[in-house]
């Protein structure tokens, strides 16, 4: 059995740095002719091949070595915070000049506090157990064969995302800790920020003797680079899209590489007739206004017709700047006391990612569940109630990745749930579902050990 590499092993070298560099077309400089599709394909394939070699070395690195890399990345992010913010300012200014929405600009923007949050997440990640080698199950058969099913790295993980430079760090950290190599496509909106972050990540890896090519980007090759990445089956083991509906569906529909689908968040909260006013106001304000541009923000509120909390909740949300898109029953119940706009089917299907909220009235729990089943994207749904039977029925009837009772939907997050960080929130049902952390970036293999047994 291959022994895990340790921090005391000889420093690893990139076997492909000198041998293949001359064969890979360099990124075209401004004003020069763009690369042909054939050149882009060759370049992306070379990146993937180098990732695969790096992944083999990462799979052998033990926890101490991987954690040392994470700590090195944390130190580098702190030391180079000013240069990261300067690069990010260029992207934000460009986005603002191009008419980027407020929600997208919020996702794009890094601040000292957000960089500190990235560092804290990586430090937390370093403190988590290494999933690689974890025994999922095992037994000794009557014939004496000893069986173990263990977690092993995926290999080469690719991620396609948009305007989210924090994802660059989160996904890289999770991939490294779980023994993988990662190829990133972060999009043109965050080009300057992602370039700065990838350089920092690669330098930190090299500083501790791990291969820099465990983190690579294809941003320099634009959309064609992303297209090649999606077709790189056999070179890339799994592809994770993270972003809006259009991006996710483009990857799902066009990728020949296996995809773990992260879904949009048309998130619901149902206020039962027994929910208290104070709890309802506090949770709705947090779930809608704390950071409206993210996928675990509530987008639709369902209110029981016998609940008395609607006026207080609606007033608080309007005071916080939320536009309420309401059905006729909600409009009648508010009697003009709170400004609203009419809702239609488009609103029930919309992930606003902004200070907008669709609000409907229902007569019972079954109606709430039926509405959620019709319009939900399977991300997160919550119930606010003091009725235990209703809470249990809601949990049983709702088929989403996360179901929450009497708490904000903002808790559907890898960091909040103790995963250290997350690659994304999967709304599919194969392999991974909900916030995807370290374990979700591993697969398994069977170890069968015998003493000469043959099958009869």
- The structural architecture, per CATH, of the domain 267-416 is 3-Layer(aba) Sandwich (3.40)
Indicate left, alpha or beta for 291 from its phi (over 0: left) and psi (-120 to 50: alpha). beta
- What is residue 154's predicted lDDT score, i.e. its pLDDT? 96
pLDDT digits (tens, 9 = 90+) for 59-106: 999 999 999 999 999 999 999 999 999 999 999 999 999 998 887 898
Non-local CB neighbours of 293 within 8 Å, separated by 6+ positions: 102, 103, 104, 106, 107, 353, 354
Assigned CATH class of 16-262+433-446: alpha beta
Contact of 427 with 433, CB cutoff 8 Å: yes
Report the C-alpha gap between 100 and 194 in whole angstroms: 18
Q: Which helix (H) or strand (E) holds 394?
A: helix 388-397
What's the pLDDT score for residue 11? 41
Q: What is the pLDDT of residue 14?
A: 33
Predicted pLDDT at 264: 79
Report how far residue 186's alpha carbon sits from residue 115's, in angstroms, rounded to the nearest whole number: 17
Q: Indicate the pTM of the whole model.
A: 0.81
| Angle of CA points 40, 43, 45, to nearest 5° | 105
Diameter over CA atoms, the chain? 82
Q: What digits encode the pLDDT tens for the residues 150-167?
A: 999 999 999 999 888 999
Structure token digits, residue 453: 């047994």
**What is the four-CA torsion angle of 37, 39, 43, 48, rounded to 10 degrees?**
50
Q: What is the pLDDT of residue 71?
A: 98
CB 236 within 8 Å of CB 257: yes
Cα–Cα distance for residue pair 178/436, rounded to 1 Å: 12
Look up residue 431 and give its DSSP letter: S
Those residues of the chain that have pLDDT short of 50 are 1-3, 10-32
Residues of the chain with CATH 3.40.309.10: 267-416
CATH 3.40.605.10 occupies which residues in the chain? 16-262+433-446
């Amino acid at each position: 059995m291959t022994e895990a590499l340790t921090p005391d092993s000889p420093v690893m070298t990139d076997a492909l740095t000198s041998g293949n560099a001359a064969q890979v077309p360099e990124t075209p400089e401004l004003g020069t002719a763009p690369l042909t599709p054939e050149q882009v394909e060759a370049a992306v394939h070379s990146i993937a091949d180098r990732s695969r070699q790096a992944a083999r070395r990462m799979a052998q690195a033990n926890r101490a070595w991987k954690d040392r890399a994470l700590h090195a990345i944390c130190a580098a992010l702190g030391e180079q915070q000013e240069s990261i913010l300067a690069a990010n300012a260029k992207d934000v200014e460009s986005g603002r000049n191009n008419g980027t929405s407020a929600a997208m600009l919020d996702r794009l923007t890094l601040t000292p506090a957000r960089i500190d949050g990235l560092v804290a997440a990586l430090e937390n990640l370093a403190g988590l157990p290494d999933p690689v080698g974890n025994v999922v199950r095992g037994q000794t058969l009557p014939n004496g064969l000893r069986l173990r099913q263990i977690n092993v790295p995926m290999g080469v993980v690719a991620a396609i995302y948009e305007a989210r430079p924090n994802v660059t760090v989160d996904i890289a950290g999770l991939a490294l800790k779980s023994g993988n190599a990662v190829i990133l496509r972060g999009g043109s909106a965050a080009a300057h920020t992602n370039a700065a972050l990838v350089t920092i990540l690669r330098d930190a890896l090299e500083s501790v003797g791990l291969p820099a090519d465990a983190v690579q980007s294809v941003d320099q090759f634009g959309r064609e680079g992303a297209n090649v990445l999606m077709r790189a089956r056999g070179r890339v083991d799994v592809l994770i899209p993270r972003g809006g509906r259009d991006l996710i569906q483009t990857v799902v529909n066009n990728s020949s590489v296996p995809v773990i689908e992260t879904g949009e968040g048309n998130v619901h909260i149902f206020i039962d007739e027994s929910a208290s006013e104070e709890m309802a106001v506090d949770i709705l304000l947090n779930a809608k206004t704390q950071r409206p541009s993210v996928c675990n923000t509530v987008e639709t509120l369902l209110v029981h017709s016998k609940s008395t909390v609607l006026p207080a909740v609606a007033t608080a949300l309007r005071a916080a700047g939320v536009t309420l898109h309401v059905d006729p029953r909600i409009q009648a119940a508010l009697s003009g006391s709170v400004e609203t706009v009419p809702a239609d089917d488009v609103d029930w299907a919309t992930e606003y990612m902004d200070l907008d909220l669709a609000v409907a009235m229902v007569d019972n729990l079954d109606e709430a569940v039926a509405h959620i089943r019709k319009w939900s994207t399977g991300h997160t749904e919550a119930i606010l109630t003091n009725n235990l039977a209703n809470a249990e029925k809601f949990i049983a009837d709702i088929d989403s990745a996360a179901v929450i009772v009497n708490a904000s939907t903002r808790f559907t997050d890898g960091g909040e749930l103790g995963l250290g960080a997350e690659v994304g929130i999967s709304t599919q049902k194969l392999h991974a579902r909900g916030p995807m952390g370290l374990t979700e970036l591993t697969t398994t293999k069977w170890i069968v050990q015998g003493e000469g047994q043959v099958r009869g």
